[in-house]
Amino acid sequence: MLKCNRAAYGAALCLFMAAPAFAEIDIAAVKSCFADRSASGEQLSCIEAAQSDCAAFPAEAMSAALLCYTQTKDAWSAAIGSEMAAAASTISQGDFVKLQINAKYDLLGALQACDRTEELAVAASDLPAEVIAFYKAGCQSTSVGNVYIAILTRLNALN
């Protein structure tokens, strides 16, 4: 679901592509995945699928994978902004305020868990800083993606 398909173009080409196209998530594909998997409760797997190229980088391309996750996190954030802007005009103000509050605290809690994992890794492991940063970036991107899916789930329940 990312525009830079590492398998098709190779890691080297992906590294040299312009940053905005490097890890752009296809939100329409994510929404389609969400619609297909919601009934079975497997909608969070849409996040994993959308970010799969980031996880597929080889160990020697850790910096590229970290950048990929950072950019997918930014893409999820933009998608949340778009979804919230659309929701502001389609649901009641009370429901919108609840949606905002839930999204805010879902995100804060998830990102705090990423911070805790990072701190524990620094304090209690021999992992190199680059590896810890990679895992934190993946955690943050997945967390923001999960909040996006939670917003879609709540909006779906309101309709």
pLDDT means per 10 residues in the chain (159 residues)? 40 36 78 90 90 88 92 96 96 97 97 98 96 96 96 93
Residue with tokens 């850790």: 62
Among left, alpha and beta (phi > 0; psi -120 to 50; other), residue 58 is: beta
What's residue 22's pLDDT? Answer: 54
Identify the helix (H) or strand (E) that includes residue 21: helix 19-22
Report the predicted TM-score, pTM, of the whole model to 2 decimal places. 0.83
What's residue 23's pLDDT? Answer: 64
Domains of the chain, by residue range, sit at 6-158
Query: For residue 95, which phi and psi values (nearest 5 degrees)?
Result: -65, -35
What's residue 12's pLDDT? Answer: 36
